[in-house]
Amino acid sequence: MTEARLVVVDDEPNIRELLATSLRFAGFEVFAAADGLSAIQLITDTSPDLVVLDVMMPDLDGFEVTRRLREKGVHSPVLFLTAKDDTQDKVTGLTVGGDDYVTKPFSLEEVVARIRAILRRTQHVEENEAVLTYADLEMDEDSHEVRRAGVVVDLSPTEFKLLRYLMLNSGRVLSKTQILDHVWDYDWGGDANIVESYISYLRRKIDTVTLPDGNPVQPLIHTKRGVGYMLRQSR
Amino acid sequence: MTEARLVVVDDEPNIRELLATSLRFAGFEVFAAADGLSAIQLITDTSPDLVVLDVMMPDLDGFEVTRRLREKGVHSPVLFLTAKDDTQDKVTGLTVGGDDYVTKPFSLEEVVARIRAILRRTQHVEENEAVLTYADLEMDEDSHEVRRAGVVVDLSPTEFKLLRYLMLNSGRVLSKTQILDHVWDYDWGGDANIVESYISYLRRKIDTVTLPDGNPVQPLIHTKRGVGYMLRQSR
DNA sequence: ATATCGCCTGAGAATGACCTGAGTGGCGTC
DNA sequence: GACGCCACTCAGGTCATTCTCAGGCGATAT
């Protein structure tokens, strides 16, 4: 699954590059197109496992691109990128297939998570479990359920994304900037302090669980002062 | 990886030369450019493994240079040099792809470390481990963890940078001035005594570990009186 | 032997990173 | 409309870290 082939289609160079580079970095093989027509060409040529497709484009919009592809018998699932106000109805109607959508501005965590989810469904390889695990921490990406030492904790959407990012990078120190860039929307303009706040929330929820024997759990979230945060077993 | 090819771009001759010479000394093949336009030319000609790029330049700023390069299909990762105050606005979003940034004034250690990190990621050769080793001393650059004889020791950021510099130059005597020039910011104006202080801190942390058999470890940090310091196995 | 010099290190002040409680406002639900 | 949840801001407190300074000690030279 980390070898999947993607095609990214967006007319804005910034977004296209942002997606292309970070998805490559996330382990995908990525091809990019800047408009609807060349997208159709590229997709029929490469027959990718998934297409990330902007809805609003000058020549053909994303729906039209999809329609033509289907007409030609290409059935790669699509992750649409839409503006928040884009006719909710049209978009939701499309998610009935294997498809899904993300609204702009998005966070990279969001996009990667959706892609992973779609691929999990379409390439139903048995080993493709939707459960992330680190130590006694489990996260089910399908049910959105998180357990610490078997105890279910419930997280807000942002807390969930932050934790997923930490889990996907366990054992590695992540700077506040890195976290901000991945977990928050790409146009976020606020203070990096927000990361501290959410780390604080997460700690309260997953690092203060009491074990059945009455003892507290070992903390998994660690601060590397002056560097960043890390998910790791304490020693 | 120590054979990587870099392009350094900065309009200030001092900074450009500082970077070029010390990166060459660090084992890289370095080409330099003084402005955005010639940078684009040089980069497309040499297709380097990485570009060190100042953001504030008279003709084209660093972002514009990157944009044009991407447009031309050049995907070399970029390490941006920025002033401390324009960090939050434009710089966010850079740590997602292969790119990263360092704020001016920087320390050379910082720059070298970031370059190594980016190359480690982009040229994901399996052997490119993020672990430095000398004798029974290990430094994991991902988790920022240091072990002496298997025992985890906890270092402050400056201690960490100093030790990394010593490890990258083990077996070589480094003068206090050299250390100051590499580990501290280039505009640092204080006393060289600070090096003595930090060497002292480091010794306390990594040269006073007790082995499982109860014996102390052999010191690795040695003073060459009148010359400098050296990391080396004692004989 | 003694003076000098370089280095070592403890103490302390200043700084700044980080943590968290409290509060505001937006949004959806009942 | 009232409520609750959530995202986010702000500011005060805490504590690690950075840096300075000065006394002591050992090495080196005369």
Our measurement of CA A227 to C1' C17, in angstroms, reads 10
Helix (H) or strand (E) holding B71: helix B62-71
Least CB–CB distance from A173: residue in B92, B98, B143:
B143
pLDDT > 90? residue B177: yes
Cβ proximity of B132 and B168 under 8 Å = yes
- Closest-CA residue of A relative to B89 is A189
Average pLDDT over chain A, rounded to an integer: 92
- The CA–CA distances, whole Å, from A82 to A13, A79, A182, A230, B105 equal 16, 10, 19, 33, 41
Query: B199-232, pLDDT tens digit by residue?
Result: 999 999 999 999 999 999 999 999 999 999 999 9
Residue A200 and residue A149: Cα distance in Å, rounded? 19
Q: Residue B13, SS3?
A: helix
- Residue appearing with tokens 């700690």: A203
pLDDT-derived band of residue A136, with 50, 70 and 90 as boundaries?
A: very high
Which nucleotides on chain C have any atom < 7 A from a protein Cβ?
6-11, 17-22
pLDDT > 80? residue A173: yes
Question: Using the CB atom, is residue A177 less than 7 Å from strand C?
Answer: no
- Closest-CA residue of B relative to A108 is B96
Q: What is the mean pLDDT of residues B86-107?
A: 81
Query: A48-76, pLDDT tens digit by residue?
Result: 999 999 999 999 999 899 999 999 999 99
pLDDT > 80? residue B1: no
Least CB–CB distance from B95: residue in A178, A230, A232:
A178
* Count of C-beta atoms within a 10 Å radius of residue B14: 9
Question: Using the CB atom, is residue A228 less than 7 Å from strand C?
Answer: yes
CB contact under 8 A, A171 and B142: yes
Query: B26-81, pLDDT tens digit by residue?
Result: 999 999 999 999 999 999 999 999 999 999 999 999 999 998 998 898 989 999 99
Residues from chain A that touch B75, judged by Cβ atoms under 8 A, are 21
The backbone region for A47, taken as left when phi is positive above 0, alpha when psi lies in -120 to 50, beta otherwise, is left
Pick the more confident residue, A113 or A127. Answer: A113
Chain B touched by A130 (CB under 8 Å): no
Angle at B46 between CA B41 and CA B50, to 5 degrees: 100
Greatest Cα-to-Cα distance within chain B, rounded to the nearest angstrom: 64
Our measurement of CA A232 to C1' C18, in angstroms, reads 19
Interface test with A, best of B95, B99, B153 (most A CBs within 10 A): B95
Question: Using the CB atom, is residue A225 less than 7 Å from strand D?
Answer: yes
pLDDT-derived band of residue B143, with 50, 70 and 90 as boundaries?
A: very high
Alpha helices per DSSP H over chain A: 13-25, 36-46, 62-71, 88-94, 108-122, 157-168, 176-183, 193-206
Cβ proximity of A13 and A35 under 8 Å = no
Our measurement of CA B194 to C1' D22, in angstroms, reads 14
Query: A16-45, pLDDT tens digit by residue?
Result: 989 998 999 888 999 999 999 999 999 999
Residues from chain A that touch B91, judged by Cβ atoms under 8 A, are 177
Residue B121 and residue B106: Cα distance in Å, rounded? 22
Chain A touched by B204 (CB under 8 Å): no
Q: What is the pLDDT of residue A87?
A: 59
pLDDT-derived band of residue A123, with 50, 70 and 90 as boundaries?
A: confident
Chain A touched by B88 (CB under 8 Å): yes
pLDDT-derived band of residue B96, with 50, 70 and 90 as boundaries?
A: confident
Least CB–CB distance from B97: residue in A22, A172, A224:
A22
Least CB–CB distance from B98: residue in A25, A175, A224:
A25
Our measurement of CA A156 to C1' D8, in angstroms, reads 14
CB contact under 8 A, B98 and A172: no
Our measurement of CA B39 to C1' C2, in angstroms, reads 63
- Closest-CA residue of B relative to A107 is B93
Cβ proximity of A180 and A188 under 8 Å = yes
